[in-house]
Structure formats: C-alpha cells, structure tokens
C-alpha cells in the first residue's frame, strides 16, 4: 500500500499563476516534440567548459585582443550549460547570465542563433537550464561574455526562483528547500564546498598517519558507544528489534582486538534526542582508535588534526566566529573539570560541597524533579555544574580532562586516582568538539561497568548503556592499550564557516513535516 504524501504548504496565488504559465510553456514544448520537433527535455548536450575556468583562463585578454582574434578567424570557442539567473531582452540583442557549479557567465544572444530560436529564447524563464555554444569576447563595459552561436533549452523550470534581490528570507525555508537555497546563495554553496574539503583533508591526514578507513554497521542489535537514547526499528527478515547507530565505538574497538592497530571511520550516527542549534538527530562524527596510545597522545594528535584540517579547508588558523576571534595556531589549553570550575566561577572551596552545588544548579534553572539533584554523587554534580556554568565560557580551544569514572563507562581509570578517568573533552567557542580517552581494556572491569549501566537503565535512565556481552567476549581475547577519540564534524564545520546553527552545515537537517 502506498504511503500518503507528506502535506505540502499551500502556494501563494501569484506563484500559482506563474507556475501555471510555465506549465503551459512546457505543454507547448511537448506538443512540438509530438509533432516531430525538438525534444522537451534533451540529454545529449555535454558542456566542454565551466564558468570559473573560462574566467580564469581569459582574465588577462583585453577586448581588442578578442576582436582581433575573431577578425582573423581565430575566435576562442566556448561551450557551457547552466541555470539562467538573469535575463535582459533588448530587441535585436539580449543578455542572459548562466550559473553552473563553478560560477556565472554572461551570454550575448542575437539572431545569430537563428530567428526562431531567438524568438523562443525571449519566452524562456529565469531558472531554465540552458546550453550555449559560441565564442568569447568582452562587452563595451569590459565584461567577459560568450557571443552565442547556438542556444538550447535543456530543462524547463516550472517554479519561479525567489526574488533576485532578496533571495530566501525565511531561514526554515532555506533548510527545507535546500535546493533553492543552493541555487540562490553563493555563500551556502561555498559553505558545503568547505565541508567537502574538510572531510577530504581529514581523510588525508588520517591515512598519512597510518590509519586505515573502515566501515562498521549502522544497524545495531545493541546500541552502544555513548550514553544516548537510540532510534528503534525492526528487522523483518531476522524478526528482531534493531537500533540505529549512536556511535561506532564498540565495533571499532573490536577491530583493534582483531589486529588492525589504527582505524578510523567518518560515520553518520543517530540519537533520538532534542534538536537545537548544536544538535541534530543524525550527525557526522569521525572516530579513530590507535593501539599503544593514551589520552595524552590523543590530545596531541587531535590538536594537530584540527589545525591541519582548518588550514587546508579554509586556508587560515585565525578564524572568526560570530564576531569573536578563534586562534587555532596557539597551543590548546588543558584543564581538569575542577580547575575549569575554579577558573570560571567564584565557587572557591565549595567546589567539593554537594549542597552548595545543588543550590547553584537550582539557581541556574535545574530542578530536583527533572534532574534528580539529590540523588547525584559529588563528581556527577561537579560535572553538571561545569556543563551549566563553565562550558559556554571555554571560547579558546581547551581540553577538559579527568572526568569521573562513574560517568565514563568505557574509559580507563587513572592508575593513581581511580575515581577519575584518562579522558578529555575538547571545547571551542563554548561547545564540545571532541571526546577521547584511554580505552578500558580490562574485560572484567568493563563487564562490571556495563552491569552498573544496565542497572541505571532498569532504574529509569533511558540514556544508560546496554550490557554488550559480545563486546565483553572480544575484550576477553585481549585488546592492546588503546586510545580513541570522536570528533564532531558538524560542530567543527560551524566554526570553520562561521555558522550559528548546526542546520546551516547539514545539507538536509531534520525538520517537522510541513503543515
């Protein structure tokens, strides 16, 4: 049985009229095709050139040099295709601006393309995709252009583009109709080009340091690798409940057990939790694991990784985010949770006073009913206070270290101070960018921690981890000392592209259905 279509927002009356007019034009094209004429949607044109390459190749050629070449029969030919973004019809001659994936190119059209074709061109619309062949020249104002000798309509656009001067003003509409946003906004295209460059740079850095890229399952029989609420589905053939991946960690560590000593995965993960400027239900991470590394090695490597990636992707380590400077070239700060609380609050010696922490947390808006403050241990209260009062203050790159063992079920405890783990979180612009630790490779300790997590889940904590017996079995075969880290790609892209919301750097973010 077919699923009902998602409800669509109603069209504005004027837009309905324009769409109807364009459909009539397409109807005319189809009638011509039926009569043996031109095909309404041809697919036999192969552009030989791109707008940006034409501008680059011919930037230094003056108007007179073009004219001399044309007069001598040595015109520079060009062949491009793109979406018509501007159009000026001026009687015997017209101009149009085509936009392809690399930029824009002006086209000059006269009856040189044929009288019937020129007449048809006058009725084409902005948004139509057009193919042009001709030769290069400069207009009287010096603008590099193509004098068309042939022009064809490749794709008829049935919907009008947003007003060229105002573009898309509704931010949610930009997210919902990303295809229109990309057509109209050069900055949006540049933002996602930078994302592609970032991923390429990360892959290059990782493979250059001996890491092997791998792929692990996205459907898990047991969700693991993070404290998060999973999405639940059902596998019909296996007749069993499955979960969308919340993290690839436990599978990547199985590979370390198997003998691959350095692995990484750029992965999509899913968490059935809130949506905000920093959270999307599906997001991209890079997780990497290295045998014989500890959390100190990871911090050094992560710092180098982000610095190298930023330089290659956006060309600078001096960034600006929402009007404030961020310098990635300086050594990243390192502080423990307690040191960070002391540095950014006036709590003083009361940092170890549970009653004082609860009082301050309540003033920050937390409650006993929702946050179970009185049931928390002192380390848990300190972490919560850090998150509420300190996290947003960490603007410069800062590693926060030594998280309590009780809230870090997969991290190795510090040998000298077993109440804390060899773990760090990296903060930049007040947001967590990475999380890493020396991995727990003691199978019996890991089993005990999983059991504690299972108990917390039974008590009502729906973000607590499940007991993963197969992972315990893998550890029982022996995993070498290992360090592992996850880097949030989306949040890093927010920084690199100065984007205020995570939705700005995800091509198709999660949205409520249109009403």
Q: Which residues are paired to 147 by β-bridges?
A: 108, 135
Cβ contacts of 199 within 8 Å, gap of 6 or more:
266, 489
Task: State yes or no: 425 annotated in a binding site.
Answer: yes
Give the phi and the psi of residue 20 in degrees, each rounded to 5: -60, -40
Pick the closest to residue 112 from 133, 127, 129 (CA basis): 133
Maximum alpha-carbon separation in the chain? 90
Query: Who's near 416: CB < 8 A, 6+ residues apart?
Result: none
Beta-strand relationship, 232-235 and 240-244: antiparallel
Residues 6+ apart with CB under 8 A from 94: 87, 88, 108, 109, 110, 118, 121, 122
Helices (H), 286-442: 295-314, 337-344, 354-363, 368-371, 378-385
Q: Which residues of 329-350 are buried (b: 16+ CB within 10 A; e: fewer)?
A: eeebeebbbbebbbebbebeee
For 346, the 3-state DSSP assignment is coil
Exposed / middle / buried, residue 493 (Cβ in 10 Å: 0-12, 13-18, 19+)? buried
- CA 14, 18, 19: angle at the middle one, nearest 5? 115
CA distance 201 to 195: 10
The burial of 494, by beta-carbon neighbours within 10 Å (0-12 exposed, 13-18 middle, 19 or more buried), is given as buried
As separate numbers, helices (DSSP H) first and strands (DSSP E) second, the chain gives 16, 18
If you ran DSSP here, which 8-state letter would residue 222 be given? S
Q: Binding residue per annotation — 432?
A: yes
Contact 298, 502 (CB under 8 A): no
Instruction: Give the separation between CA 59 and CA 457, rounded to whole angstroms.
Output: 65
144 phi and psi, to 5 degrees? -65, 130
Q: Which residues are annotated as a binding site for Mg(2+)?
A: 425, 432
Q: Which residues are annotated as a binding site?
A: 425, 432
């Amino acid at each position: 049985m077919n699923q009902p279509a998602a409800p669509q927002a109603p069209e504005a009356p004027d837009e309905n009229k324009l769409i109807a007019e364009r459909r009539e034009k397409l109807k005319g094209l189809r009638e011509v095709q039926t009569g043996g004429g031109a095909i309404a949607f041809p697919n036999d044109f192969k552009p030989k050139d791109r707008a940006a390459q034409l501008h680059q190749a011919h930037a230094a050629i003056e108007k007179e040099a073009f004219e001399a070449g044309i007069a001598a029969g040595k015109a520079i030919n060009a062949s491009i295709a793109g979406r018509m973004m501007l159009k000026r019809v001026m009687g015997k001659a017209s101009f149009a601006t085509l936009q392809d994936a690399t930029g824009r190119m002006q086209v000059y059209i006269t009856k040189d393309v044929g009288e019937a074709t020129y007449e048809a061109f006058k009725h084409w619309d902005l948004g139509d995709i057009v193919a042009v062949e001709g030769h290069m020249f400069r207009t009287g104002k010096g603008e590099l252009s193509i004098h068309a000798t042939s022009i064809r309509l490749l794709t008829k656009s049935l919907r009008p583009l947003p007003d060229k001067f105002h573009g898309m003003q509704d931010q949610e509409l930009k997210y919902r109709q990303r295809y229109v946003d990309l057509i109209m906004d050069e900055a949006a295209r540049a933002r996602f080009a930078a994302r592609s460059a970032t991923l390429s740079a990360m892959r290059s850095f990782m493979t250059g340091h001996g890491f092997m890229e791998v792929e692990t399952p996205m459907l898990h029989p047991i969700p693991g690798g993070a404290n998060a609420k999973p999405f639940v589905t059902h596998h019909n053939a296996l007749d069993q409940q499955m979960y969308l991946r919340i993290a690839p960690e436990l599978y990547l560590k199985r590979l370390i057990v198997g003998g691959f000593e350095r692995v990484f995965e750029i992965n999509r993960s899913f968490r059935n939790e809130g949506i905000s400027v920093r959270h999307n239900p599906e997001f991209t991470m890079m997780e990497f694991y290295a045998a014989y590394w500890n959390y100190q090695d990871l911090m050094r490597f992560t710092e180098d990784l982000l610095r190298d990636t930023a330089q290659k992707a956006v060309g600078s380590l001096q960034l600006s985010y929402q009007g404030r400077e961020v310098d990635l070239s300086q050594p990243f700060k390192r502080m423990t949770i307690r040191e960070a609380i002391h540095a950014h609050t006036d709590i003083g010696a009361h940092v170890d006073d549970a009653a004082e922490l609860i009082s301050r947390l309540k003033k920050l808006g937390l409650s006993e009913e929702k946050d179970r403050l009185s049931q928390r241990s002192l380390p848990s209260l300190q972490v919560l206070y850090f998150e509420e009062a300190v996290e947003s203050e960490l603007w410069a790159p800062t590693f926060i270290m030594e998280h309590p063992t009780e809230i870090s079920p997969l991290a190795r405890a510090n040998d000298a101070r077993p109440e804390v783990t060899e773990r760090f979180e990296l903060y930049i612009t007040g947001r967590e960018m990475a999380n890493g630790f020396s991995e727990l490779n003691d199978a019996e300790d890991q089993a005990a921690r999983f059991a504690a997590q299972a108990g917390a889940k039974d008590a009502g904590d729906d973000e607590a981890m499940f007991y993963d017996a197969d992972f315990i079995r893998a550890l029982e075969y022996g995993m070498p000392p290992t360090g592992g880290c996850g880097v949030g790609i989306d949040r890093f892209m927010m920084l690199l592209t100065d984007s205020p919301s995570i939705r700005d750097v995800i091509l198709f973010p999660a949205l409520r259905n249109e009403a």
